[in-house]
Amino acid sequence: MAIETEPGTLQHPGGGEPTGAKDTRAWWQRPAIHTGVLGAVIGYLVGYYLGRAISANYQQISTSDAHDIAIVLGFLFLVIGWLVGLGVFNDLLRHMAGRPMPDTEKTNGDAAGVARYFRVTLDHKVVGIQYLIGMIIYFCTAGLLAMGIRTELLSPVHHVFSSSTYIELVGEHGTMMMMLMTSVILGPFGNYLIPLMIGSKRVAFPRVEALSFWLTPAAFLILLAAIPLGGFHMGWTGYPTLSVQDTSGADAYAFAFGLMGISMVLAGFNILVTVICYRAPGMRWSRLPMFVWGILGTSVMMTLAAPILSGGMYMLLTDRTVQTAFFTDNLGGSTYLFQNLFWFFGHPEVYILALPGFGIVNEILPVFTRKPLFAYKVAAAGMVGVALLSFFVWQHHLFDSGINPNMRPLFMLTTEMISIPTGFIFLVGMGTLWKAKIRFSVPMLFALALFFNFLIGGVSGVFVSDTGADTTEHGSFFVMAHFHYTIMGGLIFAFMGGCYYWLPKMMGIKLNEKLGKWHFWLMFLAFNSTFLPLFAVGWLGQPRRVFEYALRLQGLNDWVSISSYVLGFSILLFVINFVWSTVVTRDRETGNPWDARGLEWQVPSPPPVHNFEHIPVVLSGPYEYGDPDAPPVADLNPPVGVLVGALASAETEESEA
């Protein structure tokens, strides 16, 4: 049996070079995006008309509920058809039929060529690139929606959109950013780099990894489907009772958000098991790269918090379709319950976004200062502390939602306590920079910007964590400026730094340095010029999600809108740089352009099919810069005796731990 790798060639499931035989199968027999789209369309039509038929048998269901049943079943069958068309279940069916399974260490994504990026593959490196392209598309789409929001706010009296359309734009933008961007770092960099960083040939569950990615395009398209279905008008938080009573666009919102929650659980669980069980001999916990610590904390939060989100969203869907009463007060439910379910995920999500960014920055700093990472154990403790405390702060979002007043001091305390482990990470960064001879390459510039931006976001967070201050600031542009500084100012700047730093490894190309610096300075200045004035706008009383405001605030709003256009242009520069370097110039980088010690940099760029020819033995940590006596980071071709001894030593260390 063989599977297609390139148009017109076949490759055995075990990997290796294409056989060279012509593939005579029809196009619908070669699973890829085109068959996935066909399956999705057929699935939606089957599900929609099945839902109409089912709801017609129940007279007590209202006409609107019957329509919602059809739409939700349509989305369900759309996802199933999409996955079937992509061939996600082929291995399962092969196993059930008693046919031999492909070797997951030699995957069907190993052959060269772009065709592998448009189909399901078990190669973690291909999945990482798929995530990278997908996340850039999702981010740019959400950014265009933000441009529409700022265009409307150029004037308080002359309107580009109606009030209904404006709130739809706000909801789509916020949901897309907070839903799809949760995997913006774990998706591309986590899946691609974690096995390389820990000395593994693959992830623990390659099929789970592939499924976690291919759910994201389905969630993206379903969320966009909310627009022709009438949009949704309750914002990205989806609070009942408005979300229960909203148009059919709310079905798309809840289904897509819940689907993305499933993707997050799969991705987090897979990475968690990979880091715990697949580390190379000698890769002790005290030698883990900081990026791995960040992704590890993120994976724990995803695995524990995202199921709560998915459960809440699908409970909301049953309220909308089959007349359950989880969140309907007059039928015995509780709107307050939804807020607790949503924010029990929603606040760990802030650190799901932040921790990988901290990990990227702590990888970049030692490389461009040529110093060891300052206080490694303190940084690791900070990562663990943030992940732990993130589950104890969610009710500060409910200070104005009817929370028991006696509970407010507790959640104010836990919220402010989380600044302690976050401060650990900041101090580690400052200690690494102290008296360093810094190379101001593009990745380093983005790393430094994260500290500046996240500091402003963190200081402003102290205000909104205080019960008295939050009563004034809640629902204003002050809060909006705060979370953009923590999320975009931290996460997106770290993502950009990671792209410039790791693309030579991931794709064998180095982005243009001069264009990269133009991108950085425009993005940094425009970002601060956009969101810093919004603190003042919020203090002066402008509420969020309202498209009319006091005339005295038009000057500030015009400044913010113009700055946002410059910010959008800076992102366009990155896209141009990425496409130009990847498609046009294609300047190949096969070595280690940063002279980094990380284990991922000890293999060629891009890495070989199986990452490592032999299981490496890790000899030292990745940050031993400036020490001429430091051993190499790993032995990539250890003698059998050394490898056996290292494995025995690793087992002893694990049992003692």
Confidence of residue 219 (pLDDT cuts 50, 70, 90): very high
Does the pLDDT of residue 533 top 50, yes or no?
yes
Mean pLDDT of 153-173: 94
pLDDT at 457: 93
Residue 234 falls inside a structural domain = yes
Task: Look at 104 and 589; give whichever has higher pLDDT.
Answer: 589
From 355, 257, 266, 354, select the one nearest 302 (Cα to Cα): 266
Give the pLDDT confidence of 570-581 residue by residue, as tens digits.
999 999 999 998
Confidence of residue 197 (pLDDT cuts 50, 70, 90): very high
* pTM for this model (two decimals): 0.92
- Look up the domain containing 346 and give its range: 114-585
Mean pLDDT of 503-529: 95
Residue 63 falls inside a structural domain = no
Residue 243 belongs to a domain with what CATH number?
1.20.210.10
The percentage of the chain sitting over the pLDDT mark of 70, rounded to a whole number, equals 90
pLDDT at 637: 83
Nearest-5° angle of CA 26, CA 31, CA 35? 80
Neighbours of 160 (CB within 10 A): 13
Give the pLDDT confidence of 445-477 residue by residue, as tens digits.
999 999 999 999 999 998 888 888 888 888 899
For residue 267 the two structure tokens come to: 């991705």
Cβ contacts of 647-652, under 8 Å, gap ≥ 24: 647/281, 649/281, 649/282, 650/279, 650/281, 650/282, 650/283
For residue 502 the two structure tokens come to: 């790791």
**Average predicted confidence (pLDDT) for the chain:** 88
pLDDT at 70: 93
Q: Name 543's bridge partners.
A: 476
Residue 390 falls inside a structural domain = yes
Q: How many domains does the chain have?
A: 1
Residue partners of 344: CB distance under 8 A and separation at least 6: 305, 308, 391, 394
Residue 61 falls inside a structural domain = no
Give the pLDDT confidence of 482-506 residue by residue, as tens digits.
999 999 999 999 999 999 999 999 9
CB-CB contact of 383 with 359 (8 Å):
yes
Confidence of residue 57 (pLDDT cuts 50, 70, 90): confident
Residue 83 falls inside a structural domain = no
Distance, CA of 27 to CA of 573 (rounded, Å): 37
Q: Name 4's bridge partners.
A: 10
Which one-letter amino acid corresponds to residue 408?
A: R
Does the pLDDT of residue 106 top 70, yes or no?
no
Does the pLDDT of residue 516 top 60, yes or no?
yes
Residue 332 falls inside a structural domain = yes
Give the pLDDT confidence of 565-607 residue by residue, as tens digits.
999 999 999 999 999 988 887 677 788 999 999 999 999 988 9
Distance, CA of 602 to CA of 551 (rounded, Å): 59
Does the pLDDT of residue 179 top 70, yes or no?
yes
pLDDT at 295: 96
Mean pLDDT of 238-259: 94
Mean pLDDT of 26-45: 87
Does the pLDDT of residue 622 top 50, yes or no?
yes
Distance, CA of 280 to CA of 462 (rounded, Å): 42
Residue 645 falls inside a structural domain = no
Does the pLDDT of residue 640 top 70, yes or no?
no
From 84, 71, 431, select the one nearest 229 (Cα to Cα): 71
Residue 449 falls inside a structural domain = yes
Nearest-5° angle of CA 239, CA 245, CA 246? 80
Confidence of residue 65 (pLDDT cuts 50, 70, 90): confident
Give CA separation, 240 vs 62, 165, 169, 191, 333, in Å. 19, 20, 19, 36, 11
